[in-house]
Amino acid sequence: MSKIVSARDAVASIPDGATVASAGVIGWVTPDAVLKALGDRFVDTASPRDLTFYFPCGTGDAMGIRGMDHVAREGLMKRIVSGSYINPVDPATGKRPELMRLVRENRIEAYSWPIGATMHWLREVARKSPGYITAVGVGTYADPRHGGGKFTSKAQDDLIKLIQLEGKDYLFYPSWPIDVAIIRASSADRHGNLSWEDEPLTTSNLALAIAAKASGGKVIAQVRRIVDGRPASQVRVPGLFVDSIVVDPDMMMTTDTPYEPAYFSGRRMPLSDLPFPQMSLDKIIARRVAEEVRRGELAIYGFGAATDVPLVMAEQGLFDGDAMADYPATTEHGAYGGIVMPGWQFSANINPDAILDGVSQFDVIDGGLCKFAALSFAQFDARGVVNVSKFGAANPGAGGFIDIAQNAERLVFAGTFTTNGLKADHGPHGLSIQTEGKVRKFVNTADSITYDVAAGVRERGQSAKIVTERAVFEVTGDGLVLTEIAPGVDLRRDILDLMDFAPARIADPLPLMAQQHFESPELAIAEAV
């Protein structure tokens, strides 16, 4: 009997109360057609009801590739556990995702786990262990003493527990079965064997499939095409583990990208063709962060201002010839080598050398092999706590931030000094603030504990810096030290008066950030000539 069915038929037998798991990374490898069919079934029939959804990472962009927003419906979704949430404003509608409305209005049980836990937990489900134990996240918002990853008051069950082993604190994530796994691959043969030959990420698809089958559940795979066969070394999921295949020949590779083989090195893109960032405050920040990157040290880049660092390094000629190999780099989703892209293309690299699955990648991260990390920040507080997980109306979760920050040796947190309306003039004079941001980022107490940086510096010997467009700080065990200031800004008016707490120290003399960071590339070239 053929395993190839329509998306509608693939989801027709999902019962009330089931746990449904699916994997994607923003728009990448998102099984959008199947998730849409499940949402449509509920609209048409009011069933299935009260499902628990498990998404190891934010799946879909909530716009053209809606992903988990397809199933964000009261009655259909009872509970969601996700490693990250998507919260953009759709430019076509001006609205934020429906899932965020359900979270903000406390309509569902919403939990946020660090992505490392969402990946590694699947392995424990697959081998039928009691659950996943880790030291990653102790003392953060995932710790039951600080909320236990609960993002709504409806979320009453303790899905994360604090335990002690040999006198040390750990987080314990009890395992529970997965009834249906919805995954996506490039192709399948008639037996259901799956391969990812033209995808730049595989994320946790294999782990999801094994966990579902070990739970006695079913696996639905969405693919671009059916093939007659291919070398067995290309098959990542055996057909024995696949129950249904849905073919969607028109599925997008990711947001705004129907298909681009440079993302899996099906072709090599010349560095001159890269989309170098326009001159902006983020570019100033990325240029300064680039000074911290060392040759021969595996660097990992997070979403946001830090993402532009490899692009500005390429623009500066640091990767010319074979020099890119001197600066090994990766992201939390498994691409090695090449250059990570910003915005909706984040997580995949142009011209990668290798691609690991998501579960193995977090083995790398938690094992401390990524020595240097450049991450973004939303808040930094007087205790030395950084927050990216929950602030204002945004509930993005931590993504891979906690795993990366806790296990790297050198940290740089990148972002503008204030936000919401910040405008500044930059050029040969340095920086001049035209309109200050309405929201302060250096606060007395962060809204959420994503990572205690000061504790990492004190207790694990980490080093950490904060890089903004107007100031650079070193994080010490007893507070921030202001180590650099942008030329053209006023120390009191533009920095100290906009912090809810004072730095522990200010370097004296206080060095200026390098002038070239504030100049456009064209101006720098003209001056060199």
Domain boundaries, the chain: 7-183, 264-528
C-alpha pair distances (Å), 85 with each of 82, 132, 500: 7, 22, 28
CA 47 to chain centre: 32
What digits encode the pLDDT tens for the residues 323-342?
999 999 999 999 999 999 99
* Region for 346 from its dihedrals, namely left if φ exceeds 0, alpha if ψ lies in -120 to 50, beta otherwise: beta
Q: Residue 466 is which amino acid?
A: I
Q: What is the mean pLDDT of residues 369-395?
A: 94
E strands, 96-189, are 109-112, 131-134, 161-165, 168-174, 180-184, 187-188
Q: What is the mean pLDDT of residues 397-417?
A: 97
What is the pLDDT at residue 91?
85
What is the pLDDT at residue 87?
83
Is the peptide bond preceding residue 48 cis, with omega within 30 degrees of 0? yes
- Proportion of the chain above pLDDT 70, given as a percent: 98
What is the pLDDT at residue 84?
95
Strand partners, 183: 221
What is the pLDDT at residue 388?
96
Instruction: Measure the CA–CA gap between 290 and 513, rounded to whole angstroms.
Output: 13
What is the pLDDT at residue 89?
84
pLDDT band at 527 (very low <50, low <70, confident <90, very high): very low
Q: What is the mean pLDDT of residues 222-244?
A: 96
148 vs 528 pLDDT, higher one: 148
Tokens of 465: 């810096």
What is the pLDDT at residue 457?
98
What is the pLDDT at residue 282?
96
Instruction: Measure the CA–CA gap between 86 and 78, rounded to whole angstroms.
Output: 18
Helix (H) or strand (E) holding 364: helix 358-366
Tokens of 207: 């782990």
Burial class (CB in 10 A: 0-12, 13-18, 19+), 37: buried
Helix 115-126 to helix 205-214 angle (10° resolution) is: 40
Do strands 187-188 and 168-174 pair parallel, antiparallel, or not at all (unpaired)? unpaired
Is the peptide bond preceding residue 509 cis, with omega within 30 degrees of 0? yes
pLDDT band at 474 (very low <50, low <70, confident <90, very high): very high
Ranges of H-type helices in 430-504: 453-460, 491-494
Look at residue 348 and tell me whether its pLDDT is greater than 80: yes
What digits encode the pLDDT tens for the residues 359-371?
999 999 999 999 9
With b meaning 16 or more CB within 10 Å and e meaning fewer, what string describes 274-313?
A: bebbebebbbbbbbbbbebbeeeebbbbbbbbbbbbbbbb
What digits encode the pLDDT tens for the residues 79-99?
999 999 988 888 888 888 999
For 51, the 3-state DSSP assignment is strand
Tokens of 503: 């730095």
Strand partners, 452: 385
Look at residue 140 and tell me whether its pLDDT is greater than 70: yes
Look at residue 105 and tell me whether its pLDDT is greater than 80: yes
Beta sheet of 479-485, edge-to-edge order: 354-355, 335-336, 329-330, 299-301, 372-376, 410-414, 463-467, 471-476, 479-485, 505-506
For domain 7-183, the CATH class is alpha beta
Look at residue 526 and tell me whether its pLDDT is greater than 60: no
Please, which residues have CB within 8 angstroms of residue 147's CB and are 6 or more apart in sequence? 141, 448
pLDDT band at 229 (very low <50, low <70, confident <90, very high): confident
Helix (H) or strand (E) holding 165: strand 161-165
What is the pLDDT at residue 305?
84
Contact of 68 with 32, CB cutoff 8 Å: no
DSSP letter at 254? B
What is the pLDDT at residue 93?
87
What is the pLDDT at residue 529?
27
**Is 124 in the active site?**
no
What digits encode the pLDDT tens for the residues 449-461?
999 999 999 999 9
| End-to-end Cα spacing for the chain | 71
Please, which residues have CB within 8 angstroms of residue 470's CB and are 6 or more apart in sequence? 417, 424, 431, 433, 485, 486, 489, 494, 495
Look at residue 12 and tell me whether its pLDDT is greater than 70: yes
What is the CATH code of the structural domain delimited by 264-528?
A: 3.40.1080.10
Instruction: Measure the CA–CA gap between 219 and 367, rounded to whole angstroms.
Output: 30
User: Sign of dihedral through CA atoms 17, 23, 26, 27?
Assistant: negative
Look at residue 394 and tell me whether its pLDDT is greater than 90: no
Do strands 479-485 and 471-476 pair parallel, antiparallel, or not at all (unpaired)? antiparallel
User: Sign of dihedral through CA atoms 123, 127, 130, 133?
Assistant: negative
Instruction: Measure the CA–CA gap between 172 and 374, rounded to whole angstroms.
Output: 28
Look at residue 392 and tell me whether its pLDDT is greater than 90: no
Q: What is the mean pLDDT of residues 264-288?
A: 95
Look at residue 508 and tell me whether its pLDDT is greater than 70: yes
Look at residue 525 and tell me whether its pLDDT is greater than 60: no
What is the pLDDT at residue 522?
52
Identified catalytic residue from 98, 332, 436, 484: 332
What is the pLDDT at residue 393?
76
- Proportion of the chain above pLDDT 90, given as a percent: 92
Rounded to 10 degrees, what is the CA torsion of 12, 13, 16, 22?
A: -80
Nearest to 51 by CA among 25, 72, 37: 72
Contact of 212 with 183, CB cutoff 8 Å: no
Rounded to 10 degrees, what is the CA torsion of 493, 494, 496, 499?
A: 120
Q: Supply the pTM of this predicted model.
A: 0.95
Q: What is the mean pLDDT of residues 373-395?
A: 93
Tokens of 88: 């953009």
What is the pLDDT at residue 315?
96
Please, which residues have CB within 8 angstroms of residue 1's CB and are 6 or more apart in sequence? none
What digits encode the pLDDT tens for the residues 413-447?
999 999 999 999 999 999 999 999 999 999 999 99
Contact of 48 with 18, CB cutoff 8 Å: yes
pLDDT band at 353 (very low <50, low <70, confident <90, very high): very high
Strand partners, 172: 133, 161
What digits encode the pLDDT tens for the residues 156-179?
999 999 999 999 999 999 999 999
